[in-house]
Chains A and B, each alone.
Chain A
Amino acid sequence: MAKTAIAIIGATGNMGSAIAKSLAKGPYRLLLFAHDKAKLESVKQDITKATPSADIDCVGCPMDASWEADVIISAVPYAAEKDVVEKIRNVATQKVVVSIANPLNETYDGLVTEPGTSAAEELQKLLPSSKVVKAFNTTYAADFAQPVINGQQVDAFIAGNDEDAVDVVKGLVTTAGFNAIVAGDLSKSRTLEAMQALLIQLTIKNNYNWLAGFKILHN
Protein backbone atom coordinates (compact mmCIF):
# COMPACT_ATOMS: atom_id res chain seq x y z
CA MET A 1 0.00 0.00 0.00
CA ALA A 2 1.27 3.50 -0.80
CA LYS A 3 2.35 4.96 2.54
CA THR A 4 0.16 7.50 4.29
CA ALA A 5 2.26 10.56 5.11
CA ILE A 6 1.48 12.20 8.44
CA ALA A 7 2.61 15.70 9.41
CA ILE A 8 2.89 16.31 13.13
CA ILE A 9 2.94 20.04 13.86
CA GLY A 10 4.35 20.61 17.33
CA ALA A 11 6.27 17.33 17.40
CA THR A 12 8.50 18.25 20.36
CA GLY A 13 5.61 18.70 22.79
CA ASN A 14 4.55 15.99 25.24
CA MET A 15 1.66 14.90 23.06
CA GLY A 16 3.31 15.51 19.67
CA SER A 17 6.39 13.46 20.50
CA ALA A 18 4.34 10.67 22.13
CA ILE A 19 2.11 10.43 19.03
CA ALA A 20 5.13 10.46 16.71
CA LYS A 21 6.82 7.73 18.70
CA SER A 22 3.84 5.39 18.66
CA LEU A 23 2.90 5.99 15.00
CA ALA A 24 6.50 5.32 13.91
CA LYS A 25 5.74 1.61 14.39
CA GLY A 26 3.00 1.75 11.76
CA PRO A 27 3.14 1.81 7.94
CA TYR A 28 3.42 5.59 7.88
CA ARG A 29 5.81 8.26 6.77
CA LEU A 30 6.19 10.88 9.51
CA LEU A 31 6.96 14.53 8.82
CA LEU A 32 7.83 16.33 12.01
CA PHE A 33 7.80 20.05 12.58
CA ALA A 34 8.56 22.15 15.67
CA HIS A 35 10.21 25.51 16.26
CA ASP A 36 13.07 24.11 18.35
CA LYS A 37 15.15 22.40 15.65
CA ALA A 38 17.70 20.85 18.05
CA LYS A 39 14.96 19.35 20.19
CA LEU A 40 13.15 18.11 17.10
CA GLU A 41 16.28 16.35 15.87
CA SER A 42 16.66 14.63 19.24
CA VAL A 43 13.00 13.50 19.12
CA LYS A 44 13.71 12.04 15.70
CA GLN A 45 16.83 10.27 16.95
CA ASP A 46 14.97 8.81 19.94
CA ILE A 47 12.30 7.45 17.63
CA THR A 48 14.80 5.99 15.17
CA LYS A 49 16.62 4.32 18.05
CA ALA A 50 13.41 2.73 19.37
CA THR A 51 12.04 1.91 15.88
CA PRO A 52 14.87 1.52 13.36
CA SER A 53 12.38 0.91 10.54
CA ALA A 54 10.70 4.31 11.09
CA ASP A 55 10.26 6.43 7.95
CA ILE A 56 10.68 9.85 9.49
CA ASP A 57 11.91 13.31 8.48
CA CYS A 58 12.18 16.69 10.17
CA VAL A 59 10.76 19.42 7.95
CA GLY A 60 11.76 23.08 8.12
CA CYS A 61 8.33 24.70 8.07
CA PRO A 62 4.76 23.65 8.91
CA MET A 63 3.60 24.40 5.38
CA ASP A 64 6.11 22.07 3.73
CA ALA A 65 5.38 19.32 6.25
CA SER A 66 1.65 19.65 5.63
CA TRP A 67 2.06 19.92 1.86
CA GLU A 68 3.77 16.54 1.70
CA ALA A 69 1.28 14.97 4.14
CA ASP A 70 -2.01 13.17 3.64
CA VAL A 71 -2.92 13.62 7.30
CA ILE A 72 -2.02 16.62 9.47
CA ILE A 73 -1.95 16.32 13.25
CA SER A 74 -2.17 19.67 14.98
CA ALA A 75 -0.30 18.94 18.22
CA VAL A 76 -0.04 22.52 19.44
CA PRO A 77 -2.02 24.07 22.31
CA TYR A 78 -5.48 25.38 21.43
CA ALA A 79 -4.31 29.00 21.71
CA ALA A 80 -1.57 28.44 19.11
CA GLU A 81 -3.79 26.67 16.58
CA LYS A 82 -4.96 29.81 14.73
CA ASP A 83 -1.37 30.66 13.96
CA VAL A 84 -0.66 27.20 12.56
CA VAL A 85 -3.82 27.33 10.44
CA GLU A 86 -2.66 30.50 8.69
CA LYS A 87 0.54 28.74 7.67
CA ILE A 88 -0.97 25.49 6.43
CA ARG A 89 -4.33 26.65 5.05
CA ASN A 90 -3.40 26.49 1.35
CA VAL A 91 -1.99 22.98 1.53
CA ALA A 92 -4.56 21.44 3.88
CA THR A 93 -7.58 21.41 1.56
CA GLN A 94 -9.33 18.02 1.34
CA LYS A 95 -6.86 16.57 3.89
CA VAL A 96 -7.57 14.90 7.20
CA VAL A 97 -6.66 17.30 10.02
CA VAL A 98 -6.58 15.79 13.50
CA SER A 99 -7.57 18.05 16.40
CA ILE A 100 -6.07 16.79 19.67
CA ALA A 101 -6.44 20.02 21.66
CA ASN A 102 -8.32 20.45 24.90
CA PRO A 103 -9.25 24.12 25.24
CA LEU A 104 -8.68 24.36 28.99
CA ASN A 105 -8.38 27.65 30.81
CA GLU A 106 -5.24 28.60 32.77
CA THR A 107 -6.49 27.12 36.03
CA TYR A 108 -7.66 23.86 34.41
CA ASP A 109 -11.11 24.22 35.94
CA GLY A 110 -13.03 25.03 32.78
CA LEU A 111 -12.98 25.37 29.00
CA VAL A 112 -12.30 28.60 27.12
CA THR A 113 -14.60 27.64 24.25
CA GLU A 114 -18.20 28.87 24.26
CA PRO A 115 -20.92 26.35 25.07
CA GLY A 116 -22.24 24.88 21.84
CA THR A 117 -18.86 24.55 20.19
CA SER A 118 -15.51 22.83 20.68
CA ALA A 119 -11.83 23.19 19.76
CA ALA A 120 -12.38 20.72 16.91
CA GLU A 121 -15.38 22.59 15.51
CA GLU A 122 -13.50 25.89 15.73
CA LEU A 123 -10.64 24.30 13.79
CA GLN A 124 -13.11 23.06 11.18
CA LYS A 125 -14.45 26.63 10.83
CA LEU A 126 -10.91 27.87 10.21
CA LEU A 127 -10.27 25.07 7.68
CA PRO A 128 -13.64 24.65 5.95
CA SER A 129 -12.21 22.58 3.05
CA SER A 130 -10.34 20.15 5.29
CA LYS A 131 -11.72 17.08 7.07
CA VAL A 132 -11.26 17.75 10.76
CA VAL A 133 -11.37 14.74 13.07
CA LYS A 134 -11.16 14.80 16.86
CA ALA A 135 -8.83 12.18 18.33
CA PHE A 136 -6.13 11.59 20.95
CA ASN A 137 -7.63 14.23 23.26
CA THR A 138 -8.76 11.85 26.02
CA THR A 139 -5.38 10.12 26.27
CA TYR A 140 -2.43 11.52 28.23
CA ALA A 141 1.05 11.53 26.68
CA ALA A 142 2.15 8.78 29.11
CA ASP A 143 -0.71 6.55 27.91
CA PHE A 144 1.01 6.15 24.54
CA ALA A 145 3.91 4.31 26.16
CA GLN A 146 1.44 2.31 28.22
CA PRO A 147 -1.92 2.01 26.40
CA VAL A 148 -2.91 -0.85 28.73
CA ILE A 149 -3.44 0.35 32.30
CA ASN A 150 -4.14 -2.16 35.08
CA GLY A 151 -4.83 -4.82 32.47
CA GLN A 152 -7.37 -2.70 30.59
CA GLN A 153 -6.76 -1.33 27.12
CA VAL A 154 -7.49 2.39 27.21
CA ASP A 155 -10.40 3.58 25.05
CA ALA A 156 -9.66 6.41 22.63
CA PHE A 157 -12.54 8.34 21.15
CA ILE A 158 -12.86 9.70 17.64
CA ALA A 159 -15.36 12.22 16.27
CA GLY A 160 -15.72 13.50 12.73
CA ASN A 161 -18.12 14.27 9.91
CA ASP A 162 -16.35 12.54 7.03
CA GLU A 163 -16.59 8.77 7.12
CA ASP A 164 -13.38 8.08 5.19
CA ALA A 165 -11.43 10.56 7.32
CA VAL A 166 -12.73 8.93 10.51
CA ASP A 167 -11.61 5.54 9.16
CA VAL A 168 -8.11 6.85 8.46
CA VAL A 169 -7.84 8.23 12.01
CA LYS A 170 -9.20 5.00 13.44
CA GLY A 171 -6.20 3.30 11.86
CA LEU A 172 -3.83 5.73 13.61
CA VAL A 173 -5.50 5.26 16.99
CA THR A 174 -5.35 1.47 16.63
CA THR A 175 -1.69 1.59 15.58
CA ALA A 176 -0.98 3.60 18.74
CA GLY A 177 -2.35 0.67 20.75
CA PHE A 178 -5.66 2.11 21.94
CA ASN A 179 -9.16 0.72 21.63
CA ALA A 180 -10.70 3.06 19.05
CA ILE A 181 -14.31 4.10 19.62
CA VAL A 182 -16.08 6.30 17.09
CA ALA A 183 -18.23 8.66 19.16
CA GLY A 184 -20.10 10.30 16.30
CA ASP A 185 -19.96 13.50 14.26
CA LEU A 186 -17.64 16.40 15.02
CA SER A 187 -20.05 18.01 17.49
CA LYS A 188 -19.36 15.05 19.82
CA SER A 189 -15.99 16.77 20.38
CA ARG A 190 -17.76 19.02 22.88
CA THR A 191 -18.38 16.00 25.09
CA LEU A 192 -14.92 14.52 24.47
CA GLU A 193 -13.18 17.77 25.40
CA ALA A 194 -15.33 18.18 28.51
CA MET A 195 -14.57 14.57 29.48
CA GLN A 196 -10.86 15.28 29.39
CA ALA A 197 -11.29 18.49 31.38
CA LEU A 198 -12.90 16.35 34.07
CA LEU A 199 -10.15 13.72 33.90
CA ILE A 200 -7.47 16.42 34.25
CA GLN A 201 -9.24 17.87 37.29
CA LEU A 202 -9.53 14.40 38.85
CA THR A 203 -5.91 13.61 38.01
CA ILE A 204 -4.76 16.69 39.92
CA LYS A 205 -7.13 16.05 42.83
CA ASN A 206 -6.46 12.32 43.20
CA ASN A 207 -2.81 12.13 42.09
CA TYR A 208 -3.25 9.82 39.12
CA ASN A 209 0.30 10.81 38.15
CA TRP A 210 -0.78 11.69 34.57
CA LEU A 211 -1.27 8.06 33.66
CA ALA A 212 -5.03 7.59 33.37
CA GLY A 213 -7.69 7.09 30.75
CA PHE A 214 -11.27 6.13 30.02
CA LYS A 215 -12.71 2.66 29.66
CA ILE A 216 -16.32 1.89 28.84
CA LEU A 217 -17.39 -1.24 30.67
CA HIS A 218 -19.95 -3.25 28.78
CA ASN A 219 -21.13 -6.81 28.35
Chain B
Amino acid sequence: MFELLFTKFDEKVQLTEEEKELAKTFFLPKKLRKRQYLLQEGDISKYVAFVEKGTLRSYTVDERGVEHIIQFAFEGWWIGDMYSFITNEPSTYNIDALEDCELLLLSQQAEEQMFEKIPKMERFFRILVQNSLIATQRRLVGSLSQTAEERYNDLVASCPTIPQRVPQHMMASFLGITPETLSRIRKQASLKK
Protein backbone atom coordinates (compact mmCIF):
# COMPACT_ATOMS: atom_id res chain seq x y z
CA MET B 1 0.00 0.00 0.00
CA PHE B 2 2.93 2.34 0.73
CA GLU B 3 5.63 0.74 -1.45
CA LEU B 4 5.75 3.39 -4.13
CA LEU B 5 5.42 6.31 -1.72
CA PHE B 6 8.40 5.09 0.29
CA THR B 7 10.40 4.56 -2.89
CA LYS B 8 9.76 8.23 -3.66
CA PHE B 9 10.68 9.27 -0.10
CA ASP B 10 13.91 7.25 -0.32
CA GLU B 11 14.97 9.16 -3.41
CA LYS B 12 15.08 12.42 -1.45
CA VAL B 13 15.23 11.75 2.30
CA GLN B 14 16.54 9.00 4.55
CA LEU B 15 13.80 7.80 6.87
CA THR B 16 14.34 5.26 9.62
CA GLU B 17 11.98 2.28 9.85
CA GLU B 18 10.32 3.93 12.85
CA GLU B 19 9.80 7.14 10.93
CA LYS B 20 8.28 5.20 8.05
CA GLU B 21 5.81 3.49 10.39
CA LEU B 22 4.94 6.88 11.86
CA ALA B 23 4.60 8.50 8.41
CA LYS B 24 2.01 5.86 7.44
CA THR B 25 -0.35 7.07 10.15
CA PHE B 26 -0.74 10.50 8.53
CA PHE B 27 -2.04 9.21 5.20
CA LEU B 28 -5.61 8.22 4.40
CA PRO B 29 -5.63 5.13 2.13
CA LYS B 30 -8.42 5.45 -0.39
CA LYS B 31 -9.61 3.29 -3.26
CA LEU B 32 -11.36 5.04 -6.09
CA ARG B 33 -13.13 3.22 -8.90
CA LYS B 34 -12.94 4.24 -12.54
CA ARG B 35 -15.01 7.38 -13.27
CA GLN B 36 -15.45 8.27 -9.57
CA TYR B 37 -14.54 11.75 -8.43
CA LEU B 38 -11.84 12.66 -5.97
CA LEU B 39 -12.86 16.31 -6.23
CA GLN B 40 -15.69 18.14 -7.93
CA GLU B 41 -15.92 21.80 -8.87
CA GLY B 42 -17.23 23.72 -5.86
CA ASP B 43 -15.76 21.28 -3.30
CA ILE B 44 -12.98 22.41 -1.01
CA SER B 45 -9.91 20.33 -1.78
CA LYS B 46 -9.16 18.80 1.62
CA TYR B 47 -6.42 16.49 0.38
CA VAL B 48 -3.51 16.14 -1.97
CA ALA B 49 -3.32 12.64 -3.39
CA PHE B 50 -0.38 10.35 -4.07
CA VAL B 51 -1.09 7.71 -6.70
CA GLU B 52 0.02 4.19 -5.68
CA LYS B 53 -1.97 2.65 -8.52
CA GLY B 54 -4.11 3.90 -11.39
CA THR B 55 -4.55 7.11 -13.38
CA LEU B 56 -6.42 10.33 -12.64
CA ARG B 57 -6.91 13.61 -14.40
CA SER B 58 -7.75 17.14 -13.25
CA TYR B 59 -9.80 19.33 -15.54
CA THR B 60 -12.00 22.40 -15.77
CA VAL B 61 -15.22 22.75 -17.71
CA ASP B 62 -15.73 26.02 -19.61
CA GLU B 63 -19.01 27.89 -20.16
CA ARG B 64 -19.73 25.90 -23.31
CA GLY B 65 -19.33 22.64 -21.39
CA VAL B 66 -15.96 21.79 -22.94
CA GLU B 67 -13.46 19.98 -20.70
CA HIS B 68 -9.90 21.26 -20.47
CA ILE B 69 -7.46 18.79 -18.93
CA ILE B 70 -4.89 20.41 -16.67
CA GLN B 71 -2.97 17.40 -15.47
CA PHE B 72 -2.80 13.63 -15.56
CA ALA B 73 -1.43 11.65 -12.63
CA PHE B 74 0.00 8.14 -12.90
CA GLU B 75 1.66 5.81 -10.38
CA GLY B 76 4.12 7.74 -8.25
CA TRP B 77 2.64 11.17 -9.09
CA TRP B 78 0.77 13.65 -6.91
CA ILE B 79 -2.47 15.39 -7.81
CA GLY B 80 -4.69 17.98 -6.17
CA ASP B 81 -5.82 21.57 -6.37
CA MET B 82 -3.12 23.42 -4.45
CA TYR B 83 -5.04 26.68 -4.50
CA SER B 84 -8.12 25.22 -2.86
CA PHE B 85 -6.01 23.00 -0.56
CA ILE B 86 -4.09 25.97 0.82
CA THR B 87 -6.80 28.66 0.86
CA ASN B 88 -9.82 26.46 1.71
CA GLU B 89 -11.67 28.20 -1.13
CA PRO B 90 -13.96 26.11 -3.36
CA SER B 91 -12.13 24.45 -6.20
CA THR B 92 -12.70 25.26 -9.86
CA TYR B 93 -11.29 21.84 -10.81
CA ASN B 94 -12.65 18.35 -11.14
CA ILE B 95 -10.45 15.35 -10.45
CA ASP B 96 -11.65 11.89 -11.47
CA ALA B 97 -10.25 8.40 -11.90
CA LEU B 98 -9.53 7.15 -15.43
CA GLU B 99 -8.74 3.68 -14.03
CA ASP B 100 -9.41 1.99 -10.68
CA CYS B 101 -7.05 3.77 -8.28
CA GLU B 102 -5.30 3.23 -4.98
CA LEU B 103 -4.47 6.59 -3.44
CA LEU B 104 -2.82 7.92 -0.31
CA LEU B 105 -4.45 11.17 0.74
CA LEU B 106 -2.84 13.82 2.90
CA SER B 107 -4.85 16.57 4.57
CA GLN B 108 -3.39 19.93 5.46
CA GLN B 109 -3.72 19.16 9.17
CA ALA B 110 -2.06 15.75 8.81
CA GLU B 111 0.70 17.30 6.73
CA GLU B 112 1.45 19.87 9.44
CA GLN B 113 1.45 17.18 12.12
CA MET B 114 3.78 15.03 10.02
CA PHE B 115 6.23 17.93 9.53
CA GLU B 116 6.27 18.46 13.27
CA LYS B 117 6.90 14.79 14.07
CA ILE B 118 9.22 14.05 11.12
CA PRO B 119 10.98 17.29 10.15
CA LYS B 120 12.75 15.55 7.25
CA MET B 121 9.42 15.36 5.47
CA GLU B 122 9.46 19.10 5.10
CA ARG B 123 12.51 18.74 2.87
CA PHE B 124 10.73 16.11 0.79
CA PHE B 125 7.72 18.32 0.22
CA ARG B 126 9.86 21.39 -0.48
CA ILE B 127 11.60 19.53 -3.32
CA LEU B 128 8.24 18.21 -4.52
CA VAL B 129 6.76 21.71 -4.67
CA GLN B 130 9.88 23.04 -6.44
CA ASN B 131 9.60 20.32 -9.07
CA SER B 132 5.92 20.98 -9.44
CA LEU B 133 6.56 24.69 -9.97
CA ILE B 134 9.15 23.91 -12.64
CA ALA B 135 6.75 21.53 -14.39
CA THR B 136 3.99 24.16 -14.29
CA GLN B 137 6.31 26.82 -15.75
CA ARG B 138 7.43 24.45 -18.49
CA ARG B 139 3.84 23.67 -19.35
CA LEU B 140 3.04 27.40 -19.45
CA VAL B 141 6.00 28.23 -21.66
CA GLY B 142 5.21 25.20 -23.80
CA SER B 143 1.65 26.25 -24.38
CA LEU B 144 2.79 29.78 -25.30
CA SER B 145 5.71 29.00 -27.53
CA GLN B 146 5.98 25.32 -28.50
CA THR B 147 4.42 23.59 -31.47
CA ALA B 148 1.77 20.99 -30.80
CA GLU B 149 4.24 18.31 -31.87
CA GLU B 150 6.83 19.46 -29.36
CA ARG B 151 4.21 19.48 -26.60
CA TYR B 152 3.09 16.00 -27.56
CA ASN B 153 6.67 14.74 -27.41
CA ASP B 154 7.14 16.31 -23.95
CA LEU B 155 3.97 14.63 -22.71
CA VAL B 156 5.01 11.20 -23.96
CA ALA B 157 8.48 11.70 -22.50
CA SER B 158 6.92 12.37 -19.07
CA CYS B 159 4.99 9.10 -19.30
CA PRO B 160 5.89 6.81 -22.22
CA THR B 161 2.85 4.55 -21.73
CA ILE B 162 0.39 7.45 -21.89
CA PRO B 163 -0.88 6.69 -25.43
CA GLN B 164 -1.96 3.24 -24.21
CA ARG B 165 -3.50 4.44 -20.95
CA VAL B 166 -5.31 7.64 -21.81
CA PRO B 167 -7.93 8.08 -24.56
CA GLN B 168 -6.73 10.14 -27.47
CA HIS B 169 -9.35 12.87 -27.02
CA MET B 170 -8.10 13.45 -23.45
CA MET B 171 -4.51 13.75 -24.60
CA ALA B 172 -5.71 16.26 -27.20
CA SER B 173 -7.57 18.20 -24.49
CA PHE B 174 -4.40 18.31 -22.37
CA LEU B 175 -2.41 19.58 -25.35
CA GLY B 176 -5.06 22.14 -26.29
CA ILE B 177 -5.53 20.73 -29.78
CA THR B 178 -8.29 18.82 -31.57
CA PRO B 179 -8.22 15.01 -31.64
CA GLU B 180 -7.75 15.24 -35.44
CA THR B 181 -4.61 17.32 -35.06
CA LEU B 182 -3.28 14.87 -32.48
CA SER B 183 -4.00 11.98 -34.80
CA ARG B 184 -2.00 13.71 -37.54
CA ILE B 185 0.93 14.37 -35.19
CA ARG B 186 0.99 10.76 -34.08
CA LYS B 187 0.92 9.51 -37.64
CA GLN B 188 3.85 11.74 -38.57
CA ALA B 189 5.73 10.64 -35.44
CA SER B 190 5.29 6.98 -36.35
CA LEU B 191 6.48 7.64 -39.93
CA LYS B 192 9.68 9.26 -38.61
CA LYS B 193 10.50 6.09 -36.71
Contacts and interface: CB of A to CB of B under 8 A. Distances in A.
Interface of A: 1-3, 64, 67-68, 70, 90-91, 93-95, 128-129
A117 to B, nearest CB: 22
A1 B42 contact: yes
B85 interface: no
A68 B37 CA distance: 12
B107 interface: yes
Contact of A94 (B28, B32, B40): B28
Contacts of A68: 30-33
Given A2-B38, A94-B110, A67 B30 contact: yes
A28 to B, nearest CB: 13
A78 to B, nearest CB: 25
Nearest to B109: A164
A93 to B, nearest CB: 5
Given A1-B43, A68-B30, 15 more contacts: A1-B40, A2-B37, A2-B40, A3-B36, A64-B31, A67-B31, A90-B1, A90-B29, A91-B1, A93-B27, A93-B28, A94-B26, A94-B28, A94-B107, A128-B25
Contacts, number: 41
Interface in B9-65: 24-33, 36-40, 42-43
Contacts of B110: 94
Contacts of A3: 36-37
12 contacts: A1-B40, A1-B42, A2-B36, A2-B38, A67-B30, A67-B31, A68-B31, A68-B32, A68-B33, A70-B30, A95-B28, A128-B25
Interface string B88-108: 000000000000000001010
A94 B27 contact: yes
A170 B107 CA distance: 20
A95 B31 CA distance: 13
A58 to B, nearest CB: 14
A129 B105 CA distance: 14
